[in-house]
Amino acid sequence: MPVFDFSSASEEKEAFVCTYTAFTSDSSEKTPDDPILVLDNQQKQWSHHSTGVFCNQSQWTAFEFKEEDETFRSNILRIDARFVNLIKWLGENRINVLLSGENRADGYAVYKIRENAFHGGTKLSAADGFLQYVMERLLSSSAPEQEDEDEELDESGDSMKLTSIQSISDFLNCAGRTMPDNIRLWARRNLAVARSSEVSAEERRHAQRALSIMTNIQWKNNYFEAIDPVEARRILDEELYGMEKVKQRIMETIIQINRTHTLPAYGLLLVGPAGTGKSQIAYAVARILKLPWTTLDMSSINDPEQLTGSSRIYGNAKPGIIMDAFSMAGESNLVFIINELDKAASGKGNGNPADVLLTLLDNLGFTDNYMECMIPTGGVYPIATANVKEDISAPLMSRFAVIDIPDYTQEEKKIIFSKFALPKVLKRIGLLQGEIVLTGEGLDELIEQYKNTSGIRDLEQAAEHLAANALYQIEVDHVKQVVFDAEMVKKLFA
């Protein structure tokens, strides 16, 4: 049904009437039951794979099917709100597409859209790659609160790469309000700079680089799905031996997330001797949260600018490490593992790098000097490690829930060595359990050798030494089995 009255009796057009309703969906995979859009099929049943173009939505909200020498028009009835801008952009640029769908009682349910380069019209230089990239990004995005009614940039596609001005412009038009409002407005301003002939080539280059970084990050909301506490406990037991108090504190955090569907207001600060598995705990939490993780080693940072980035007024300006972390993770929800927080240098008179983390830890947003935009940090979960908490400033300490990691007892070290460290090494180098035997007295002597060392890192190295010595005897001396008693252990590790 036409949405405009083209009658010559009146010079004024009727108000634009949209033929579809937008629905919200957060699914990352589309099916006929949860499609991208639904087309009218009352007049004609459409083929499973159908080609054509979307109409320019300033004229008609429909799809034109091309079958042999005929063209049939079908109104759009329903559409996933995340794809409204993409469909509009495809229609404005008359890009030929191949639909995959299924005829159902409520219409033709389209669950896949690909570029069709064999029927003329505007083509994307990246072939179907750019379209699938955009669709993947939209599927991984959260549903927008409302449709983007802002004025769109009117441009047709040409030769492009994902880092080019054209591809960035096209993506911004397709993404609409799936991106945070402040980033969307920031991107438009930087796009204007990147295209302007009134600024220097250096300014245009910086603007394009910043746009490329920003648009390659999936900006998600801070809503977290419930986490299976049984699976979470299984992961903790798999990664850590003992440490019941630590596991209990982490499980409390998981239950809190399940109730609020948001991250806790405070991150975790793991304090304990070297080698006690603090980083391993952090990786386990990231695995439980199903988030990408990135590390920040404060011992190697001696200037706050390394974290905040440098201003674009410098020719060699670049983003800071924190912004790089978002870029490498590819999304805004991630676990920040801040290693050796207590060893952060005071810098070269330019301030304390550790204090730069305060805005990141407050989850109010972080501003990078190069990007010149506030980065949402509501989905960032910080986990810091330290050996001595007295060396950490009070403002930083107040941003964390502190968990003290105790050193292992002698008995715990025996169990960890015999049931975890040694079997892992034997599996990696291909030794069978029967080829190497460590007697009880030998294990006691081994633990005695390392009684004054903290953590289990030295014990893991001892397992490597023990296994390598056994392998040597088996391969060179052609023995069938190597038995390590107290005397042999003492001789080997003396």
Other beta carbons within 10 angstroms of residue 32's beta carbon come to 15
Q: What is the pLDDT of residue 150?
A: 43
Class of domain 229-404: alpha beta
Are 215 and 165 within 8 A, CB to CB? no
Q: What is the pLDDT of residue 345?
A: 59
**172: nearest Cα among 125, 124, 138:** 138
The CATH architecture one would assign to domain 410-493 is Orthogonal Bundle (1.10)
Residue 471 in 3-state DSSP? Answer: helix
Q: What is the pLDDT of residue 305?
A: 86
- Looking at the chain, the domain(s) classified CATH 1.10.8.60 span 410-493
Distance between CA atoms of residues 418 and 344, nearest Å: 36
- Amino acid, res. 13: K
Q: What is the pLDDT of residue 5?
A: 40
Distance between CA atoms of residues 372 and 366, nearest Å: 10
Q: What is the pLDDT of residue 129?
A: 81
Q: What is the pLDDT of residue 346?
A: 54
In the structure, how many helices (H) and strands (E) does the chain have? 17, 16
Other beta carbons within 10 angstroms of residue 124's beta carbon come to 21
Distance between CA atoms of residues 95 and 159, nearest Å: 14
Torsion of CA 275, 276, 282, 288, to 10 degrees: 130
Strand ranges (E), 313-365: 334-339
Q: What is the pLDDT of residue 260?
A: 92
Residue 373 in 3-state DSSP? Answer: strand
Q: What is the pLDDT of residue 38?
A: 95
Q: What is the pLDDT of residue 127?
A: 61
Q: What is the pLDDT of residue 348?
A: 52
Query: What are φ and ψ of residue 112, in 5° steps?
Result: -150, 140
Residue 18 in 3-state DSSP? Answer: coil
Q: What is the pLDDT of residue 9?
A: 41
**Per-block mean pLDDT, blocks of 10 residues, the chain (494 long):** 40 62 90 94 91 84 86 92 91 89 94 77 60 89 62 36 75 86 92 91 92 89 88 88 86 92 89 84 90 86 86 89 89 90 66 78 86 89 89 87 85 84 86 86 88 81 90 90 89 82
**51: nearest Cα among 96, 91, 112:** 96
Distance between CA atoms of residues 301 and 347, nearest Å: 8
List alpha helices for 261-304, DSSP H.
278-289
Q: What is the pLDDT of residue 78?
A: 93
CA 106 to chain CA mean position, Å: 36
DSSP 46: P
Per-residue pLDDT tens over the stretch 141-187: 887 765 444 433 333 333 333 478 888 888 888 888 888 889 999 99
Distance between CA atoms of residues 15 and 17, nearest Å: 6
**216: nearest Cα among 136, 318, 148:** 136
Q: What is the 3-state secondary structure (H, E, C) of 29-86?
A: CCECCECCEEECCCCCCCCCEEEEEECCCCCCCEEEEEECCEEEEEEEEEEEHHHHHH
- Looking at the chain, the domain(s) classified CATH 3.40.50.300 span 229-404
